[in-house]
């Protein structure tokens, strides 16, 4: 199979779909890989490294999209990329289609086979291709939040961990999944007062067992969300429903009760965000204010630490990339029900039920799609 790796074009996005090590593995399996010129240069992955691994270098993304059997990316295809996709071409990347009807329609119109990292599952019920970036985003959310609390950034001027004789900040994490636990871990390490809200009693018990009384664990409902959010200095939105739009847990009424200069970081923004007032921002202009509350809603947070993120992502995606290339997508999906969950678009049909529901479109099961 000819695997194509175009450079990412989203604002300040320097991650790359395959590392030289991943290329070397694909070539060893008998495949060809073409990488766009300087696609990994900003994170130290030079064209020479890719050539040494066995890749060919293409000058433009157009060359790659025109020739490759499978496109491997990081971020969702931008409109100009959707326009280059071909009938039957495999696209393997993050998609986050539920809040993005324009992208969804572009993929449907292209006739491609789009497999989303974020809906591939595991035998344990996890999301193995989302988890590495969730770990990065969870840890970054505390760094970003601490920075936004500084006066110069519009924050209330509070140091996250405090100092002797002065209290630390109150950090509230909405969601106890991968993002949430990584955010909580970082905030605890910086000395903040940390509370995690979640609707899963077993998950709260697990977190209590891991961190003890140092971490407060609270069952999430409308009352507790309002109580803890309105008294927080920093709120991390870390909720996720796989494939579906994120629930809006915090509304304008909550913001009006929060302190001036408090901060919310919406890590769920890729799925539409869990704050009613959220809108996607970029690393160039990461924040905005609503009701005196600073919002950080960067839609590709891990892109800010692109080298770490690229290697972490490739560690997880490489076995699936090789399976798709070795077997062809139909056999790979038929053999692996967890990879099958990643199929979102197939020859003009939506094949993820949650995505179809949120977009108000018809749905064809993934099993039916690949069997047709």
What angle in degrees, to the nearest 10, is found between the helix axes of 20-28 and 306-327?
10
Among residues 69, 233, 266, 270, which one is catalytic?
A: 270
Q: Sign of torsion, CA 145 146 152 156? A: positive
Is 270 labeled as catalytic in the residue annotation? yes
Burial class (CB in 10 A: 0-12, 13-18, 19+), 45: buried
* Contact residues for 97 (Cβ-Cβ < 8 A; gap 6+): 76, 103, 104, 107, 116, 243, 344, 345, 350, 352, 355, 359
Question: Is-contact 9 78, C-beta < 8 A?
Answer: yes
Long-range interactions of 40-49: CB distance < 8 A, separation 24+:
40/16, 40/310, 42/14, 42/306, 43/14, 43/15, 43/16, 43/306, 43/307, 43/310, 44/307, 45/16, 45/19, 45/20, 45/310, 49/20
d(CA 40, CA 38): 5
96 among known catalytic residues = yes
Q: Please pick, among 31, 96, 254, 346, the residue that the annotation labels catalytic.
A: 96
Question: Residues with Cβ < 8 Å from 357, sequence gap 6 or more?
Answer: 244, 363
Structure tokens, 159: 């140091």
DSSP, res 151: G
Provide the annotated active-site residues. 96, 270
């Amino acid at each position: 199979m000819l695997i194509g790796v175009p450079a990412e074009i989203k604002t300040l996005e320097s991650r790359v779909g395959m590392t030289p090590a991943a290329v070397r593995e694909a070539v060893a399996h008998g495949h060809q890989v073409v990488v766009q010129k300087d696609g990994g240069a900003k994170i130290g992955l030079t064209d020479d490294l890719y050539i040494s691994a066995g890749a060919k270098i293409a000058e433009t993304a157009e060359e790659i999209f025109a020739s490759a059997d499978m496109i491997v990316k990081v971020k969702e295809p931008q409109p100009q990329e959707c326009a280059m996709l071909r009938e039957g071409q495999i696209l393997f990347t993050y998609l986050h289609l539920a809040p993005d009807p324009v992208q969804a329609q572009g993929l449907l119109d292209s006739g491609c086979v789009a497999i989303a990292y974020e809906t591939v599952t595991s035998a344990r019920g996890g999301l193995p291709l989302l988890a590495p970036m969730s770990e990065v985003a969870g840890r970054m959310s505390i760094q970003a939040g601490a920075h936004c609390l500084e006066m110069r950034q519009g924050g209330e001027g509070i140091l996250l961990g405090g100092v002797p004789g002065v209290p630390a900040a109150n950090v509230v994490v909405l969601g106890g999944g991968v993002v949430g636990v990584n955010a909580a871990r970082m905030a605890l390490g910086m000395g903040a007062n940390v509370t995690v809200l979640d609707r899963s009693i077993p998950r709260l018990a697990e977190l209590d067992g891991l961190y003890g009384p140092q971490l407060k664990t609270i069952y999430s409902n409308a009352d507790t969300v309002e109580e803890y959010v309105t008294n927080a200095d920093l709120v991390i939105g870390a909720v996720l429903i796989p494939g579906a739009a994120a629930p809006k847990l915090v509304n304008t009424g909550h913001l009006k009760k929060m302190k001036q200069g408090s901060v919310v970081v919406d890590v769920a923004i890729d799925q539409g965000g869990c704050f009613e007032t959220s809108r996607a921002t970029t690393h160039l202009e990461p924040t905005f204010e609503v009701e005196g509350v600073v919002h950080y809603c960067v839609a590709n947070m891990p892109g800010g630490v692109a080298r770490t993120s690229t290697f972490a992502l490739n560690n997880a995606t490489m076995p699936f990339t090789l399976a798709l290339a070795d077997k062809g997508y139909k056999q790979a999906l038929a053999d692996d029900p967890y990879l099958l969950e990643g199929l979102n678009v197939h020859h003009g049909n939506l094949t993820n039920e949650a995505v179809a529901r949120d977009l108000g479109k018809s749905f064809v099961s993934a099993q039916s799609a690949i069997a047709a």
